[in-house]
Amino acid sequence: MELVFLEEVDSTNEYLKRIPFRSNLFVVARRQTGGKGRRGKSWLSLPDKGLYLSGLFEPLHPKKSSLAGLAFGVAVLRALQEFKDDFYLKWPNDVYVNGKKVAGILPENLSDRLIVGVGVNVSYTLQELQGLSHPATSLLVEGIRCDIGELALKVSQNLILYYEKLREGTFDVKEFESFCPMIGKEVTVLENGFCYTGKALGIDREGYLLLEKDGELKRLFSAEVSVRFN
């Protein structure tokens, strides 16, 4: 494994698309000028306030790649749980604490490489996190002080571990479910501008969220919907 630190980059995910392939290469930037979130959103990337990291792996077979977001979500969660055990997951791959998002994951399975981007709010103040599309917090706000370099190492090691599970087919979605309190609860779904509620029943083997709505079973695809629960 190789961990490279950059002063500034547009996006660590984009950086890993441009360079020749090297398996298990991780890049961390002090700041990003064009940090990307899921579903076309931007990711707040002020200097030294967050972990902005991406890892490079061999591409996964499309059948296995649908679970990548879930598995990498567990990998990041487990790194953060070493500080405090009240972090949890929100499907498909956000890390939450106290009803607020602290970390997000952006996996991109391309034809010649798999890139996984991880953003963790480390020392943002609540004021700096205001105005985002979701309620957000940082490790510092939650009373955790940590060194970004050490966190980068821990997260990278866990990403390797969970990538291996994905490749071997041993990642079990039940592990994700066990950290996902929205399972079994009423959730609100936003899909193409429409909003509806239903009960989250679980996650299937392909990573879809199973939802019961008006007595019907729906399978929700992570790229198409956004889900909230209270």
**Residues binding ligand BTN (CB under 6 A):** 11-13, 32, 35-38, 41, 43, 52-54, 94, 104-106, 117-119
Shortest Å distance, C-beta 216 to ligand BTN = 29
Residue with smaller CB distance to ligand BTN, 10 or 172 = 10
Residue with smaller CB distance to ligand BTN, 194 or 223 = 223
DSSP H/E element including 148: helix 148-168
Residue-wise over 202-229: b if at least 16 C-beta within 10 A, else e?
Answer: ebeeebbbbbeeeeeebebebeebbbeb
Shortest Å distance, C-beta 209 to ligand BTN = 16
Residue with smaller CB distance to ligand BTN, 30 or 199 = 30
Residue whose CB is nearest to ligand BTN in the complex, by number:
104
Distance CA 128, CA 213 (A): 37
Residue with smaller CB distance to ligand BTN, 142 or 201 = 142
DSSP H/E element including 68: helix 68-80
Distance CA 182, CA 168 (A): 28
Shortest Å distance, C-beta 46 to ligand BTN = 12
Shortest Å distance, C-beta 82 to ligand BTN = 20
Locate 80 and state its tokens. 């953060």
Shortest Å distance, C-beta 152 to ligand BTN = 11
Shortest Å distance, C-beta 120 to ligand BTN = 8
Residue with smaller CB distance to ligand BTN, 94 or 177 = 94
Helix/strand/coil for 193: coil
Residue with smaller CB distance to ligand BTN, 43 or 91 = 43
Q: What is the DSSP string of 2-18?
A: EEEEEEEES-HHHHHHH
C-alpha pair distances (Å), 37 with each of 15, 118, 134, 163 = 15, 10, 12, 21
Q: Give strand ranges (E) for 91-151.
A: 94-97, 100-109, 114-121
